[in-house]
């Protein structure tokens, strides 16, 4: 167990095997990021995040709540926090780096170097480093509506549900026909043939334009450059979107196929959980592709109510 910041410690499973040692060290809160939750006395405030030190593990989705647990504990000067995994070199180190990035306003590179200078044996695995890159690109805030996070979660689907059966509904955007609620300046995309509403502009997962052959091999998602994405999307002949509820029957249990309008069955595009190439050259994984020539935009503008004065 080693001090990385005032009252914040990094350690391994051996450090929680003796609760008396924890108490003597002044530890009051324990955050476990491991495959097994330690048995600790009720006198300790604890949080357990199940996480394997493997590439399939989604640590990114839990970073905000881990950081909140640490921050809440450190808000009282009498508290001391231990963050640990099994060896104290990868999972727990990744959480500490994320905490330093968010609370100390550090870049990923600077936070990683600072922790490595304190604990020279840290070895954060490549997948967790990639997740920390995404965390940084989202300004160290997990926003479920962020296209970067949506794409990331979809990439994890085939690892978590390899048979693609019984996918949780949370992975599907709400069907526009299922609600009459309209946001200000919301854009609805309709089937050009039958006018059936298909998806909202909030479901579009924008991406940076590719560069011909290099795009074929680059299947890992890049953080989005908001300043350039609008111009580069003009090169794209399709919309790449998150899956919508009406797609569910076509997606479950198969890796690829056509996307047909749920009303008139006209072909809208295709899907492939392994990914497809956009016309701009970028490889998108997974890909739910709707051809722009098969849909029309309908922009709904909410007009403010007008009161008529007395004449």
Q: Report the catalytic residues.
A: 85
Helix, strand, or coil (residue 81) = strand
> Measuring CA to CA, which residue among 145, 167, 166, 146 is closest to residue 156?
167
72 close to 91: Cβ distance less than 8 angstroms? no
Q: Which tokens is 133 given?
A: 């890159």
Cα separation, 243 vs 139, whole angstroms: 25
Cα separation, 54 vs 131, whole angstroms: 12
CA dist list (Å): 8 to 71, 78, 91, 116:
10, 12, 16, 15
For Cα atoms 63, 66, 70, give the angle at the middle one, nearest 5 degrees.
Answer: 135
200 close to 187: Cβ distance less than 8 angstroms? yes
**First vs last Cα of the chain: how many Å apart?**
79
Residue 189: strand pairing partners: 199, 297
């Amino acid at each position: 167990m080693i001090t990385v910041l005032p009252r914040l410690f990094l350690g391994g499973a051996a450090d929680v095997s003796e609760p008396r040692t924890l108490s003597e060290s002044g530890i009051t809160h324990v955050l476990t990021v491991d495959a097994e939750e330690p048995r600790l006395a009720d006198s300790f405030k604890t949080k357990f995040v199940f996480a394997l030190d493997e590439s399939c593990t989604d640590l990114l989705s839990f970073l905000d709540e881990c950081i909140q647990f640490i921050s809440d504990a450190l808000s009282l000067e009498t508290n001391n926090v231990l963050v640990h995994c099994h060896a104290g070199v990868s999972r727990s180190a990744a959480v500490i780096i994320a905490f330093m990035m968010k609370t100390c306003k550090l870049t990923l590179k600077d936070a990683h170097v600072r922790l490595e200078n304190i604990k020279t044996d840290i070895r954060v695995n490549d997948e967790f480093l990639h997740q920390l890159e995404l965390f940084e690109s989202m300004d160290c805030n997990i926003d479920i509506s962020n296209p970067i996070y949506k794409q990331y979660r979809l990439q994890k689907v085939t690892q978590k549900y390899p048979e693609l059966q019984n996918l949780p509904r949370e992975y599907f955007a709400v069907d526009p026909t299922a609600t009459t609620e309209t946001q200000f300046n919301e854009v609805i995309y309709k089937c050009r043939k039958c006018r059936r509403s298909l998806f909202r502009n909030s479901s579009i997962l924008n991406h940076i334009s590719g560069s011909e052959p290099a795009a074929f091999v680059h299947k890992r998602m890049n953080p989005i450059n908001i300043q350039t994405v609008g111009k580069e999307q003009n090169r794209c002949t399709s919309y790449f979107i998150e899956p919508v509820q009406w797609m569910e029957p076509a997606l479950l249990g198969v890796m690829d196929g056509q996307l047909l309008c749920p009303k008139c069955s006209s072909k809208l595009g295709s899907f492939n959980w392994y990914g497809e190439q956009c016309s701009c050259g970028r490889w998108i994984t997974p890909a739910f592709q709707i051809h722009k020539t098969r849909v029309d935009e309908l922009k709904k503008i909410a007009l403010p109510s007008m009161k008529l004065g007395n004449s």
